């Protein structure tokens, strides 16, 4: 059974960099049939698509964070990562990692979510 | 890009059917058959109910169905149950492997 698990600091200071890792078990992150991505959800608000990355490292980012975000894959550890720099309180929220089946809108597996708070 | 438009809330009684709309443009919903619907209960990760407009993953109740007409996608829930009370989000492919979400709809089962 595929599982995704987010990890990283739950508290980040303003202006610093938020770094999260998603560890994948039960599937190879090198699969050419899937995309690996991130969503986030501010407290009490809706979901936002942050971006995704494929097996060859091609990245696709949403417009709202495009200037501050970077994603990468670590095939040796079967992980993918998210970095958001210059964070503010508006970056506080739940961050979900997710797998999407290529050539479809099927976001089939989700992590349980990682709470990140931006505060000094 | 602008978010897709969903009603902020809908409600229905047990056993009834309800429809949640998701309106986009010819750049997203109107141009691609890549629309999904998520259900999210408080404190939980979203769960996909519908993908590719009308496909349903195994394990998802057939009370949930999806459709599309022009720039608007719809999620239909038939035979409402108390457990359907949750937030519902639509998402559509827009361009170059990017995606846009609706603002979410809170379903209340009366």
Residues above pLDDT 90, as percent of chain B: 93
DSSP A89: G
**Which among A21, A63, A55 has a CA at the least distance from the CA of A35?**
A55
Query: For B103, which of A35, A46, A105 is closest by C-beta distance?
Result: A46
What average pLDDT is seen over chain B? 96
Whether A52 and chain B come into contact, CB under 8 Å, resolves to yes
Angstrom distance (rounded) from CA A76 to CA A87 = 29
SS (H, E, C) chain B: CCCEECCCEEEECCCCCEEEEEECCCCCCCCCCCEEEEEECCCCCCEEEEECCCECCCCCCCCEEEEEECCEEEEEECCCCHHHCEEEEEEEEEECCEEEEECCEEEEEC
* Contact (CB<8Å) A49/B101: yes
- Among B32, B98, B103, B106, the residue to mutate for chain A (most A Cβ within 10 A): B98
Tokens of B95: 């361009």
User: What's the confidence (pLDDT) of residue A15?
Assistant: 97
> At residue B95, does pLDDT exceed 90?
no
**Consecutive H or E run containing A90:** none
Closest CB from A39, A52, A104 relative to B97: A52
Query: Bridge-partner residues for A41, per DSSP?
Result: A94
Could you list the pLDDT tens digit for every one of the 120 residues in chain A? 899 999 999 999 999 999 999 999 998 999 899 999 999 999 999 999 999 999 889 999 999 999 999 999 999 999 999 999 999 999 999 999 999 998 999 999 999 999 999 999
Closest CB to A96: pick one of B35, B45, B97.
B45
The whole-number pLDDT of residue B1 equals 62
CB contacts of B38 in chain A (<8 Å) are 47, 107
Could you give the angle at the alpha carbon of A39 between the alpha carbons of A117 and B33, nearest 5°? Answer: 165
Of chain B, the end-to-end C-alpha distance in Å amounts to 35
CB atoms within 10 A of CB B101: 21
Please check whether residue A96 touches B, CB under 8 A. yes
Interface test with B, best of A96, A105, A106 (most B CBs within 10 A): A105
Scanning B4-33 for CB atoms below 8 A from A yields none
Touching check for A55 and chain B: CB below 8 Å? no
């Amino acid at each position: 059974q595929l599982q995704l698990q987010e990890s990283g600091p739950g508290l980040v200071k303003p202006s610093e960099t938020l770094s999260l890792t998603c560890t994948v078990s039960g599937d190879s992150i090198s699969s050419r049939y899937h995309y690996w991505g991130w969503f986030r959800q501010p407290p009490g608000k809706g979901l936002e698509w942050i971006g995704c990355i494929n097996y060859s490292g091609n990245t696709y980012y949403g417009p709202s964070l495009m200037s501050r975000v970077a994603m990468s894959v670590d095939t040796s550890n079967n992980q993918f990562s998210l970095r958001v720099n210059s964070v503010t309180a508006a970056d506080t929220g739940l961050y979900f990692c997710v797998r999407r089946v290529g050539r479809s809108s099927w976001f089939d597996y989700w992590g349980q979510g990682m709470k990140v708070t931006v505060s000094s | 890009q602008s978010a897709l438009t969903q009603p902020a809330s809908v409600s229905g009684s047990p056993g009834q059917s309800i429809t949640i709309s998701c309106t986009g443009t010819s750049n997203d919903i109107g141009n691609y058959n890549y629309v999904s619907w998520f259900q999210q209960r408080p404190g939980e990760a979203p769960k996909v109910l519908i993908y590719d407009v009308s496909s349903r993953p195994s394990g998802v109740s057939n009370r949930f169905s999806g459709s599309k007409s022009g720039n608007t996608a719809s999620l239909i829930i038939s035979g409402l149950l108390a457990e359907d009370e949750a937030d519902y989000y639509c998402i559509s492919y827009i361009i170059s492997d990017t995606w846009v979400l609706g603002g979410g709809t809170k379903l209340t089962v009366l």
